Structure 1
Amino acid sequence: MGAVVVLLLAFLFNTEPFQQAFNTAQTSASSDVSSTGTSDAFLAAVKTRRSIYTITSESPIPDDKVVQIVADAVKHVPSSFNAQSSRAVVLFGDAHQKLWQIVLHTLKPKVSPEQYEMTEAKVTSSFAAGHGTVLFFEDSAPVTALQTAYPSYADKFPGWAQHTSGMLQFIVWTALENEGLGASLQHYAPLITPQVLAAWGLPDTWELVAQMPFGTPSAPPGEKTFSPVEDRINVFGVS
């Protein structure tokens, strides 16, 4: 099974759109990445990435472009010992809606009625209202293999895999917002992990890490404050 699983259930009875989207992603992911310009453009995208909760079901870019972004990110994200343990699932249409129904169905018996009412309102008006969702996983199989091959680092590999996942999430998040989409990062795992794996027939070695609903922003994000950066950076030996 490939590192990126594209689930377009809206095209359940027509596999051609699925295949076209996947082929586009694979072609792009197999191309060498070239870099032009300075770090300014990259840092500008970093600075404008925000958590966007008010999103619509529209998208300024085609679905195959979203798939291409995820495929490129999965291929090129750094990983310790080149483990390449990160996995992603891209959900559109009915599959996107199904995920958030799984979230609500799973949470309802576990929280108070008051908490569920607030969660339902948030899921319905924000996450499910979007155009799609990217699911981020870490595959324990390559991690376990490295633990066996390098026992002196065995306790470190799971943490290093999470570092890779965080970088992957950031790459996808920033790239989507650079294309005019809004996104946020949600964490309903491990509560929903068994249901998600079963719903889409995913390997049981895949650990669900985070969920990223995305869509066209319908309102700007709130103001973001920063603690003094000089309190968080030390520099020594500068000439």
Structure 2
Amino acid sequence: MTFTDLQKQRRTTYVLGKKVSQTPEEIYDIVKSAVTNAPTAFNNQTVRVMTLTGDFHEKLWHLTADRLKTEVPDEAAYNNTLAKINSAFKAGYGTILFFTDTSVVKSFEENIPLYAENFYDWSEQGHGIAEYATWLALTEAGLGASLQHYNPLIDELVAENFNVPTSWRLRAQMPFGSIESSADDKTFLADADRFKLFKS
């Protein structure tokens, strides 16, 4: 499969299952390789990752559901939220947590003051690349995924329950698993509204 084929195949999957042929260790290696080889500014490698499967994966989404209950007091709205968590996230095989090591960002800000105001932005760009690389790697392995952002609501709960170092800042959650329902067709803006070519 070419890179372009992988890009076209990668979709946000909201109906996940646990019918995964890979072991947790194999998935861990897939994630580790994708993130290790994703570029970061000044090669500062600020992205940190935890891969959760089994009871740890389920615990994350149980904690998230409990936390959201305090933010969504309307019972009907909360039940809709809970249904989405259970079917789109918790029903999957695992979740990848992406963090920024803020101590590394701070070190570069202090040691290269000329670019100090850029390093946090660059760390976010590094996240985007690492998350996309991971998503493509999961796609290549036949797995579905989505990218979620329940941070900062769940930051403290995640830190307390998963032994997160104090310098790690949660940036995203990527539930993954078997693809139980195909994604809807994707629409695109007109090329003329997005791209320009200058040539001589």
TM-score by length of 2: 0.96
| Residue of structure 2 in register with 1:46 after alignment | 7
Give the % identical residues.
38
CA contact (8 A) 1:56 1:218 kept: yes
User: When the two structures are aligned, how many residues end up with a matched partner?
Assistant: 199
Question: 1:51, 1:145 → 2: CA distance?
Answer: 35
Number of the residue aligned with 1:223: 185
Q: Does 1:175 align with 2:130?
A: no
Is 1:235 matched with 2:197? yes
8 Å CA contact 1:135, 1:208 repeated in 2? yes
Mapped contact 1:60–1:179 kept (Cα < 8 A): no
User: CA deviation digits over 1:52-77, x for unaligned, max 9?
Assistant: 11111121322222111111122111
SS state at 1:156 partner = helix
Letter in 1 for 2:128: G
**Partner of residue 74 from structure 1, selected from 11, 35, 41:** 35
Distance 1:61 1:46 in 2: 21
- Tell whether 2:73 aligns with 1:112: yes
SS at match of 1:141: helix
Matched, 1:137 2:99: yes
Deviation of 1:224 (Å): 0.6
Task: Give the AA of the match of 1:82.
Answer: N
CA distance in 1, matches of 2:79, 2:181: 23
Structure 2 unaligned spans of 5+ = none
Return the alpha-carbon distance in structure 1 between the equivalents of residues 11 and 21 of structure 2: 17
Q: Does structure 1 conserve the Cα–Cα contact (< 8 Å) formed by 2:34 and 2:137? A: no
Q: Name the structure 1 match of 2:160.
A: 198
Bigger shift: 93-102 or 106-115? 106-115
- 1:208 offset after TM fit, Å? 0.6
Cα offset, 1:105, TM superposition:
1.1
Q: Which residue of structure 1 lines up, in the alignment, with residue 114 of structure 2? A: 152
Q: 2:124 aligns with which of 132, 138, 162?
A: 162
Q: Give, in whole Å, the separation in 2 of the partners of 1:166 and 1:141.
A: 19
What per-residue deviation string (whole Å, max 9, x for no partner) do you get for residues 76-135 of structure 1? 110111110000000000000000011011111121223211110100122000000001
Cα shift readout 1:12-57 (whole Å, capped 9, x = no counterpart): xxxxxxxxxxxxxxxxxxxxxxxxxxxx711110111000111111
2:23 is the counterpart of 1:62: yes
Higher relative contact order (Cα pairs below 8 Å, separated by 6+ residues)? 2
Write the letter of the residue equivalent to 1:69: I
**Deviation at residue 231 of structure 1 after TM alignment:** 2.1
| Structure 1 segments of 4+ aligned residues over 6 angstroms from their partners | none
Deviation (angstroms), 1:180 = 0.9
